Structure 1
Amino acid sequence: MDIILALLFYRSPQVSFCDEEIKEFDTIFNAAIHGDGLIKYTSLFPKQRFLLYISMNKNVLMHGSTQKSIAEFEPRRQTLYNGKYVEAVFATKDGVWPVFYSIFNKDKLAGNFRNGCLETRSGKKFYFFSITKETYMNSPWTQGMIYFLPRESFERARKEIISFDEWISEEPVKPMAKIEVDLTDFYFMDRVSIHKAKEPVLKTWLLYKWRNLFSG
């Protein structure tokens, strides 16, 4: 299954962190947790790596939003990747996926958008990000915020052979910290593909990587 997904989608970044990064990232995160919660990122290390480090090493989840001043997340009616309705706060353990939601201005949406972070039972993750040509022409990219949420009230939405990295909380959740991001912080900014709004999702999946590779 991992081989099939690797043919269709992009694999998660394979990273390791040096001692200097670890010390600096821990200092930045702890200062925010014990301060006002706003991460003032001044490190010379890419913010992408900071987000990956926190997602991999801290007991937190992440939520990306274009709204920059959310004091508390309230459960609301939404759909899981399988179409099931739930009333919950959504978050993810992944350090890449939520950046897309932070920088994608849905007010510029024309048609639909398709994206996801798929995780297999082996722990490997795969991503896809696709928007319509009309949305692309609307210049949908903006600045937003990544919110770090305590994990206690969350549970994995579903764990199967292949699952989206979705976590849900049926209780309100207050962020522990937050950090501003823009399109330069999105690891797969140059891997966003274009699809036709009315095409089947399966076709978008099958052609996603091919379209990206031959987009110009």
Structure 2
Amino acid sequence: MPLLDYFLKRPPLQHDDMFHFERLYSSILGREKPIELDYELSAPKWMFLCYLCETKNVVLHGSANPSILEFEPRQSNDVNEFGNRRAVYAASDGIWPMYFAIVNRERISLLLNSCFGIRQENGAATDYYYYFSVDQDALLHDPWRNGTIYILPRDTFEQQEPLQRQGMRLDSTQWASPIAVKPLAKLVVTPDDFPFKQQMNGHDPQLIAERSRRNPEGFPWRDRLD
């Protein structure tokens, strides 16, 4: 099965909202401490966050903790070498961090997710694709929570190198900083702010763990998953 058959494509941004996005972004500049954004725009929050990632020198981090003043590097656990080191991790995308913010990790044993961009043939734009999954059992019992998206300065972050899959170049949206980072601002998000909540996949954690050990490059390991 072709790779992209597994993935969700990001809907287009609405250009009518750019002026309001700029005004909201300007409210966080020049402050000594991070502020909580008062979001009253009609556009969904994910559009504002995607706009920031595409036009500003920022990356985003999603968390259940609403009170983080500084992010310290932590050892991650990932099958990919880039994502398996001590660092502060963030994304240059507005939807992916929402997954980490709104999934209740106390009910989930294995997070399964991905985000990447594929540049169109004319080079004019990039299409973004996603994969989101949680434990099958947890999915039946509303495993969501409110969370917070932190807007971080991109200066100390490095981007993961592009990946090659099935003859395609996949531009990663994952970034890592080896040093601590203080956020510029934060935005509260709810499960209903996540645009792909209704398309969330469910997986068997033990089966996925076994398949990933046998074939680390086989994400999302669904070829024979019922």
| TM-score range relative to shorter protein | 0.7 to 0.9
User: What does the per-residue CA deviation read over 1:165-204, in whole Å, with 9 as the maximum and x for residues that have no partner?
Assistant: 2100001000011100011111111110111122235485
Match of 1:160 among 159, 163, 187: 163
Alignment of 1:115-194 (within 5 A): 115-120=113-118, 123-161=126-164, 162=170, 164-194=172-202
Q: 8 Å contact 2:163–2:172 — kept in the other structure?
A: no
More moved, 3-12 vs 177-186: 3-12
Change beyond 3 A, Cα 1:108–1:205: same
1:12 corresponds to: 10
- Check 1:133–1:8 CA distance in 2 against 1; reply closer, same or farther (3 A cut): closer
TM-score w.r.t. length of structure 2: 0.81
Cα distance in 1 for residues equivalent to 2:219 and 2:23: 45
Gaps of 5+ in 1: 212-216
Counterpart for residue 51 of structure 1: 49
Distance in structure 2 (CA, Å) of the matches to 1:67 and 1:164: 25
In the alignment, residue 61 of structure 2 is paired with which amino acid? H
Tell me if structure 2 keeps the 8 A contact 1:114–1:130: yes
Task: Give the helix-richer structure, 1 or 2.
Answer: 1
Residue type matched to 1:17 in 2? H
The corresponding residue for 1:99 is: 98
Regions of 4+ moved over 6 Å: none
Describe the superposition over 1:74-129 as per-residue Cα deviations: whole angstroms up to 9, x where unpaired: 011114551453111000101110001111110112x4231111334654321111
Match in the other structure for 2:215: none
Paired letter, 1:38: E
Q: Identify which of 72, 75, 85 aligns with 1:74.
A: 72
CA distance in 2, matches of 1:120, 1:185: 24
Q: TM-score, normalised by structure 1?
A: 0.84
SS in 1 for 2:139: helix
Instruction: Judge which range, 25-34 or 95-104, deviates more.
Output: 25-34
Gaps of 5+ in 2: 121-125, 165-169, 213-217
Q: Name the aligned partner's letter for residue 173 of structure 1.
A: V
Aligned residue runs from structure 1 range 13-32, under 5 A: 13-18=11-16, 21-32=17-28
Cα deviation digits, residues 137-181 of structure 1 (max 9, x gap):
342200010001101100013223335421000010000111000
Q: Please state how far the C-alpha of 1:206 moved relative to its aligned partner.
A: 3.6
Alpha carbons of structure 1 residues 142 and 177: separation in structure 2 relative to 1, 3 Å: same
Question: How much has 1:205 moved relative to structure 2?
Answer: 4.5
Q: Is the 8 A contact 2:156 2:179 kept in 1?
A: yes
Contact 1:114 1:129 in 2 (8 A): yes
Paired residues in the alignment total: 205
Q: Does the Cα contact within 8 Å between 2:159 and 2:172 map onto a contact in 1?
A: no
Cα RMSD (Å) = 2.5
CA distance in 1, matches of 2:75, 2:66: 21
